[in-house]
Structure 1
Amino acid sequence: MPPLRLERHLFLMRSQNPLFSHGDAQLFLAWRDGRVVGRISAQYDEHYDEPGTGMFGFLELEDAPDIVPGLLEAAASWLRAQGRSRMVGPMDFTMNDEVGVMLEGFERMPFVRQPWHPPYYAARCEEAGLEKAVDLLMYELVISDRSKILPVVFKLAERVQPRHGITIRRMSRRSLRRDLDRFAEVYNEAWSENWGFVPYGKRDLDVYAQEMQLVFDRNWYMVAETESGETAAVAITVPDINQVLVKMQGRVLPFGWLHYLRKKWIIDRVRVGFLGVKHAYQHTGVAAALYVEHFDTASRTPQKWGEMGWILESNKNMNRAMEAMGGRVVRRFRVYERVL
């Protein structure tokens, strides 16, 4: 699934990527006989919740046993020079970007912001001495099939407005940047105890808003609010632009833009990327209301199914919620670690 080349160039530019306002990175290539056979990044993020930890990412390599050790040592040496004592990854550049090495789901085309790797990647990483830090799960949901949802989800959803005065509204293009502040308010609280948490700041949201304009679909961007206007929960679900990018083959010109203009007729699946509830409202059933809203939306849009996640394997509440909606694990990614 070739990424859009222009987008990747912008992502790596120090003037464009918000990582460089609160961290730093170095990129490395592995060469053999005059050609590139591997790549890796080393980076640190002052917003990362574990001091002294650096990251590696953008891992790509040919299937040879001597490539990964050299790449990892290059990244580790740079991180040691930055005063880091531990390295985790891969992540491009943060936990809010593409994360992990694929362990399951090789037969499936990746969704937006999902990595894909051949099976030998995990074997080469473990041969090089990397140890498991955590696994991340992706669930498949057929969001047009209400029969797969446990009845208790509908009961909880029905009580949200009459009992707690919480209603769900859609974001708009005009309000998107302001609503992303609401998103960050929920995300920075609801995800704060998750492994590898990295908060969203103003600069991150400015860039995120620009990226979201390219894939924005009012049907799938939701805010749950109280009668006084306080944000209780947020859900951002992204129509899978990868279905368009695969036709563009990484290029806007000469004819890639035509596929982009036809995206609403091409995309039939979504990625549920963020669905979070503030701690004070987690007893209200607002999460159930957002789940049901997704199923109702699928009944009137071309997008009938999708994937939810990633979800930490240790997040028992979210994993139970996915099972309650008939979800099944279809991909697994592993984040590795090494003491420096």
Structure 2
Amino acid sequence: MSITVEPVVSRRLQKQFTQLAWDLYKGDPYWVPPLRQNQRELLNFDPDPFYEKNEIQCFLAFKDGKPVGRVAAIINNGHIERYKERRGFFGFFESINDQEVANALFDAARAWLKEHDILLVRGPTNPSLNHECGLLIDGFDSMPTFMMSYNPPYYADLIEGYGFRKVEDLYAFWGDLAMLESLDPKLKFVVDEAKRRFQPVLRPIDKSRFAEEVRMFLDIYNKSLVATWGFVPLSDAEVDHMAKGLKQLVVPELTTVCEIEGKPVGAVFGLLDYNPRIKKIDGRLFPFGFLRLLWNRKKIHRVRLMSTNILPEFQRWGIGLVLLERLVPDSLKFGIQEAEFSWVLESNHLSRATLERGGARKVKSFRIYDYAPTEPAAAEKS
């Protein structure tokens, strides 16, 4: 049985590349299809501002003429410039449980990166750490929340079998929102002291100024994560594109902005878990999927708190807890019962400890891998 790998260079191959996920996950109760148009943009099959500066090449594996695996090789020039290393990325990996197929895909991706003088590889990122990323390695017994990844358990064997090794884990924490109403006394003290010291003004985002508010939030996001492992700031074009995509999905009650002396210094951003509805519409927003996605949103009882960001000079003062405290009453009134805090870096000891002390429970783990040739012969493998 022969295995071949082709670069995706035609509309026909693009369609086969995207369709493969539907074929591999058929019948899986926990898999959630991607929003189809969004997936085409993230793959650069349709224009996306991420690729104004960066590059991607998709590859499709065939076994006896049938599509059986896929991967994308990604050049993130922002990462190369920020970290002064020629490292490429892989993403959008899917495969049957066959090490030879996985090896052929990673060989093709590495060969393409090598043509661009890149030997180091990290992933999965779809297509960057600012998007869906990480391989699920623990927590396969439930559906992922909105914009979180999902995959079969055997993917870790295929990736590690090729020679990739763990570099960082990401965690998802679950919490009953009502738990935040009765904080650990030490955390309550931190909240009260932060309020006394800074006299913060707290408010939800203003949807009448939505574009401006999202840009404000993403500006805080970019500035707050400068010391975070692997972080690359979003470009202005990416910020504007994300603002347009989020406008209909955001519920103001699930957001908080913190202002100190009239200056926004922190924000927490929650999104309803739309995944059960995305699964029902099979990732199709048109012609009527968008209406089904947004209809009667108060029946969605889970939120993904996807980002709590504080300007560096106000970090470690408890402002994050202050933001969450304001969020709780509005969220409960909206009908939210549970929250997922995701993702949290393994190396972010402060956030992990705060969540655990507050009663949150780690429910899923995701892994980022690195590949580096260990000797000259290995570097020439491709």
The normalised TM-score by structure 1 is: 0.94
Matched, 1:328 2:330: no
| Partner amino acid, structure 1, of 2:279 | V
CA-CA distance at 1:118 after TM superposition: 0.8
* RMSD between aligned residues: 1.8
For 1:270, which of 287, 303, 327 is the aligned residue?
303
- Opposite residue 107 of structure 1, the aligned amino acid is D
- Report the equivalent of 2:88: 54
Distance 1:280 1:258, change over 3 A: closer
Of the three residues 33, 53, 68, the one matched with 1:37 is 68
| Structure 2 residue 122 is the aligned partner of structure 1 residue 75 | no
- Do the aligned partners of 2:171 and 2:345 also contact (CA within 8 Å) in 1? yes
Q: Corresponding residue for 1:128? A: 162
For 1:131-184, what per-residue CA distance to the aligned partner results, in whole angstroms no more than 9, with x for missing partners? 111111110111123366312223332344443121111112232222233223
The answer (yes or no) to whether the contact 2:87–2:118 under 8 Å persists in 1 is yes
**Aligned partner of residue 194 in structure 1, secondary structure:** coil
| 2:121 match | 87
In structure 1, distance between residues paired with 2:63 and 2:149: 25
| Inter-partner Cα distance in structure 2 for 1:237 and 1:59 | 27
Whether 1:173 aligns to 2:204 is no
- What are the residue-to-residue correspondences of 1:1-340 with 2, within 5 Å? 1-13=32-44, 16-48=47-79, 49-50=82-83, 51-146=85-180, 149-227=183-261, 229-253=262-286, 255-340=288-373
Cα pair distance change 1:325/1:14, threshold 3 Å? same
Q: Which has the larger radius of gyration?
A: 2
In 2, the alpha carbon distance for the partners of 1:175 and 1:254 equals 28
* SS in structure 2 at match of 1:334: strand
**Preserved contact between residue 220 and residue 237 of structure 1 (Cα < 8 Å):** yes
Contact 1:10 1:17 in 2 (8 A): yes
**Amino acid corresponding to residue 225 of structure 2 in structure 1:** W
CA-CA distance at 1:263 after TM superposition? 4.5
1:292 to partner: Cα distance: 1.3
Q: Could you tell me how far apart the structure 1 residues matched to 2:343 and 2:254 are?
A: 18
- Please give the alpha-carbon distance, in whole angstroms, between the structure 2 residues aligned to 1:290 and 1:88: 33
Instruction: Provide Cα deviations, 1:35-62, integer angstroms capped at 9, x if missing partner.
Output: 2101100011111133211100001111
Instruction: Tell me, in whole angstroms, the C-alpha distance in 2 between the residues paired with 1:16 and 1:112.
Output: 23
Structure 1 range deviating more: 154-163 or 120-129: 154-163
1:164–1:284 Cα contact (<8 Å) kept: no
8 Å contact kept, 1:29–1:40:
yes
Aligned residue identity for 1:327? A
Once residues 284 and 134 of structure 1 are traced to their aligned partners in structure 2, the CA distance between those partners, rounded to angstroms, is 26
Equivalent-residue separation in structure 2 for 1:149 and 1:176 (angstroms): 32
SS at structure 2 position matched to 1:199: coil
Q: 1:303 is matched by which residue type in structure 2?
A: I
Ranges in structure 2 where 5+ consecutive residues have no aligned partner? 1-31, 374-382
Contact 1:190–1:277, Cα closer than 8 Å, also in 2: yes
The CA deviation at 1:283 is: 4.6
Aligned length: 339
Kindly, what percent of the aligned residue pairs are identical? 27
Measure the CA separation in 2 of the matches of 1:258 and 1:232: 35
Distance 2:45 2:60 in 1: 18
**Contact map agreement 1:40 1:59 (CA 8 A) in 2:** yes
Tell me how far apart the structure 2 counterparts of residues 5 and 263 of structure 1 sit (CA, whole Å).
Answer: 23
TM-score, normalised with respect to structure 2: 0.84
Q: Could you list the per-position Cα deviations for residues 200-244 of structure 1 after superposition, in whole angstroms to 9, with x for gaps in the alignment?
A: 2211101110111131101112211112x2121111111111122
Report which of the two has the higher share of helix. 2
Q: Any unmatched runs of 5+ in structure 1?
A: none
Q: In structure 1, what is the Cα distance between the partners aligned to 2:303 and 2:136?
A: 20
Aligned residue type for 1:259? R
Partner AA of 1:270 in structure 2: V
Q: Counterpart amino acid of 2:230? A: G
Q: Is the 8 A contact 1:144 1:298 kept in 2?
A: no
Q: Which amino acid aligns with 1:165?
A: Q
Q: Give the partner amino acid of 2:297.
A: K
Deviation for aligned residue 1:106:
0.3
